[in-house]
A and B are shown apart, each in its own frame.
Chain A
């Protein structure tokens, strides 16, 4: 069963969500690069900003992701805030 996922760049700032499997078109080398930053499926990130770039809080580190990358990172349904 596959759960629906949405692109990370569509998430509103302040929202947390669990990373899903990235878009298949994301190159494996780039996927490995993102894994090294801690962006792996199952991990929860919080979106801090969407402009000028997507900025997420991953663990306790802020990561800026260009739109073309954020678009290919998929997240599951946003987690309840608080």
Chain B
């Protein structure tokens, strides 16, 4: 048996001659890379108990080596890269002048982790292996022989528990001593000949490649798109011949990537068998609860309880109690009267007083709205979201919701951005990157832009329709769900491409770590306020200017036939829709301010229309960034008429039901 070919890697000649000052964390999704990153740098990135939440490469100075930096790459399940996350990780390997790789691995899944180790070993870059979550492996009765594993791989292996900090000092020390791995996979003879041939051709053209020619050859033969793109730039003359070589080989022997994956998995399995001893352990309590959460019968009452508790915390406590205090007592009763008195006493010009504390005042509308109304709602939402995320519940929710999402061309992974969209659609648009294909990202982005209300808007809707009666809130939610179902159904059929079935890892269900939840909430709040407060102020200023120039009354006049005729709302509601251009929740607030001027039916029609109307400016910008300006414009062109159409249909339906 010769599973591993122990040979000297061409490290000295083939990796960059002058090692850089950058270290990279690489590893599968949800193995704790971001926590290790935080421990080694002090910098915080979004840490979740949900695979795929590091959507961009983060970079920060390390504590253990002066002047050096550490990269946190998105989760890579395997190389050659396929997903966007894997491509980002591969880009880091190709484009960064790396001193060493720190592979963060899930100790519970040693075999899978070692397949990545073997792929990284081929790069020739110095590396160290962190066996993270070792406490969870212990709890499952696993014993990993670290020294034996280190000997088999030829790199240092460090046991870590990143959440508690165990082993992080040793990991930092080992990283400074990192060396190239000695272990290599022996591929089938035909594949090995191809690799050797390709590597030789590359070595001749690329004397100073960032990773070893053998790795470049394997990744190219495995059709890694990042390596292909890199080679097209750095070895354009060789590409044509190499592509012909690969195609000819695949015609004769089948897909090379499959042979690579198979050989690596086998080699990893053999090393794992040598280093791992498992004793039978009783199922853990978290495992038993995890099964209950997915149980065909119990999953639904558990889901209902989770939703109800979330509603109590966000809707009742956040949007009710907290907002009641901040908006009515703090701002309405104390802060705003004082600011207004001060400004009116000291402002040299009336227009300045109007700009600051008038109907559309930067303080009385913009700041008050952002701080008094929105902040308590988003804070409680992000706390609840962070709690559920850290508990591992979302991964299970993706399984429960998968069937429903399948009908709209998505799979259960879309649960995370969709639910996050209830907090902030802009942030959720960014999070669609966790979805596997561009098609899924497009559908999810479109549906969120169309019909997912953000928490600020939810707060306003709850305040307005909730005051009229629960049935009106349920009616509003029912219309939105119907719109999502119909729009998703159509999008799934009209947007070319096919749906990817769900294959998902279930992280352990656990009681959330308070520090993680608070840090996540803080990170999201800072992002949100930085993004939102300037937009609130810009939006308020635009409203003030439109009002001053008489444009607002003009638009209200022009929109009257549509607003009063088709939607059956008072003509003043048109102003709310103009505000909705700036932020949907702004528009909802405009309707909210009309209060008793609207009947219950008009409140429902207005809220449905404004919810669907347009995403906020920040969301539109984010959609443009993620999907391109053309698609963002096309979405807007579809969303606005849809909102008005649905609003009118709701009016007709209510009229047919005899509800005025």
- What is A's interface to B at a CB cutoff of 8 Å? 28-29, 31-38, 40, 43, 48-49, 51-53, 55, 58-66, 68-69
Contact = CB atoms under 8 A, between A and B. Distances in A.
Contacts of A65: 502-503
Contact of B505 (A31, A33, A63): A63
Given A40-B262, A63-B506, 10 more contacts: A31-B261, A38-B115, A40-B265, A43-B269, A52-B296, A55-B506, A59-B111, A60-B137, A60-B140, A64-B506
Contacts of B99: none
Contact of B106 (A36, A51, A53, A61): A61
A53 B502 contact: yes
B403 interface: yes
A24 to B, nearest CB: 12
28 contacts: A28-B257, A29-B257, A32-B82, A32-B257, A32-B258, A32-B261, A35-B115, A35-B262, A35-B265, A36-B78, A36-B112, A36-B115, A37-B503, A38-B109, A38-B115, A40-B266, A55-B294, A58-B109, A59-B108, A59-B110, A59-B111, A60-B278, A61-B108, A62-B505, A63-B505, A64-B398, A66-B411, A69-B501
A42 to B, nearest CB: 8
B258 A64 contact: no
B290 interface: yes
A38 B506 contact: no
A17 B444 CA distance: 37
Contacts of A59: 108-112
A38 B503 CA distance: 12
A55 B502 CA distance: 11
Contacts of A64: 294, 398-399, 502-506
Chain B CB within 10 A, most for which of A32, A35, A48, A60: A60
Given A28-B255, A53-B402, A35 B503 contact: no
A55 B395 CA distance: 12
Interface in B305-354: none
Interface in B372-421: 398-400, 402-403, 406, 411
A36 B261 contact: yes
Contact of B503 (A28, A33, A49, A61): A33
B299 interface: yes
Interface in B487-546: 501-506
A69 B261 CA distance: 18
Would you call the interface of chain A mostly helix, strand, loop, or mixed? mixed
B402 A49 contact: no
Interface in B106-148: 106, 108-112, 115, 137, 140, 142
Nearest to B260: A32
Contact of A60 (B109, B258, B261, B296): B109
Chain B interface size band reads: 35 or more
Contacts of B502: 53, 64-66
Nearest to B276: A59
Contacts of A52: 294, 296, 299, 399-400, 402-403
A51 B296 contact: yes
Nearest to B258: A28
Contacts of A68: 501
B291 interface: yes
Contacts of B111: 38, 59
Nearest to A50: B296
B21 to A, nearest CB: 31
Given A32-B257, A38-B112, A52-B294, A62 B506 contact: yes
B265 A38 contact: yes
A53 B266 CA distance: 27
Contacts of A48: 291
Contacts of B505: 37, 61-64
A68 B255 CA distance: 23
A29 B257 CA distance: 8
Contacts of A62: 287, 290, 505-506
A18 B17 CA distance: 47
Given A28-B255, A33-B82, A53-B402, A63 B504 contact: yes
Nearest to B395: A64
A10 B469 CA distance: 48
A76 to B, nearest CB: 17
Contacts of B501: 66, 68-69
Nearest to B142: A60
Contacts of A29: 82, 257
Contacts of B93: none
B88 interface: no
B539 to A, nearest CB: 42
B108 A60 contact: yes
Chain B CB within 10 A, most for which of A49, A52, A58, A68: A52
